[in-house]
Structure 1
Amino acid sequence: MLDLACDISAMPPLDARRHTRYATLRGASVRSSASNVAPGSILDLSVSGCRLATQATFDKGTRVCIRIEGMHSLWGTVMWQDGTDVGVSFEKPMHPAVVEHIATVTPH
């Protein structure tokens, strides 16, 4: 499996909208400490977060674990939810090359 995290602690924090967002459709699952695993799909992805579609509901500020098919789990915080769309900010940024790979390579 790929290691998705990179250490950029020496870098100043960046606004999530400054990162390239890739439109994609990748299978994923999401859960919080208070919920069961729910299926979902990653709709767009950047180094700092994602937008996913799921039937699960989360309050803003909920810590969630997202698992993209074939990858390690990513922890993040729910920033918003609008219907089935959920915006998540990752706790640790993903490496840009990994994001591009996930977004552009068709899963097997």
Structure 2
Amino acid sequence: MGYMNSQYRTVKPALIEHRKVYRHPVQIRKAAIRQHGKAAKAGELIDVSIYGCRIASESIFDEGIRVWLRFADSSPVSATAMWCKDGHIGCRFDEKLDSTLFRRLTLISE
């Protein structure tokens, strides 16, 4: 009986955040992303954690591709593009982001 009453109910998709660490929103205009052997493309860092970030860019990168990121005159940071959609690229850093760089990125807005 319970099945007959519930079979026509629509279920909304769950809004579950799969990240283990909160991403801090930032707005850094000086960001660059590039694939190995190609020219760097300009971007804007939208949010960052010590494990990954989201960058707004007109460039399109395939999922799983290795990229190099540079934020506000930092040293290059190696990462993997996890997704690319609607002008945003989600990246996972190959190594945990240096705490000094993370602090600098979350305290400034250029």
**What range describes the TM-score normalised by the shorter chain of this pair?**
0.7 to 0.9
Q: What runs of 5+ residues in structure 1 fail to find an aligned partner?
A: 1-15
Given the alignment of the two structures, is residue 85 of structure 1 paired with residue 88 of structure 2, yes or no? Answer: yes
User: Mean Cα displacement is larger for which, 31-40 or 43-52?
Assistant: 31-40
Partner of 1:24: 26
Distance 1:100 1:21, change over 3 A: farther
* Residues matched between the structures, number: 92
Partner of 1:8: none
Given the alignment of the two structures, is residue 103 of structure 1 paired with residue 106 of structure 2, yes or no? Answer: yes
Conservation of the 8 A alpha-carbon contact between 1:40 and 1:53: yes
Identical aligned residues as a percent: 24
Instruction: Please tell me the residue identity of whatever aligns with 2:31.
Output: A
- Which stretches of structure 1, 4 residues or longer, exceed 2 Å deviation after superposition? 95-98
Relative to the length of structure 2, the TM-score reads 0.75
RMSD after superposition: 1.7
Deviations 1:73-106 (A, max 9, x none): 1000000011210000000111345313311224
Q: 2:59 aligns with which of 56, 59, 84?
A: 56
Q: Which gives a bigger RCO, structure 1 or 2 (Cα 8 Å, sep 6+)?
A: 1
Q: What runs of 5+ residues in structure 2 fail to find an aligned partner?
A: 1-17
- d(CA) in 2 for partners of 1:80, 1:34: 20
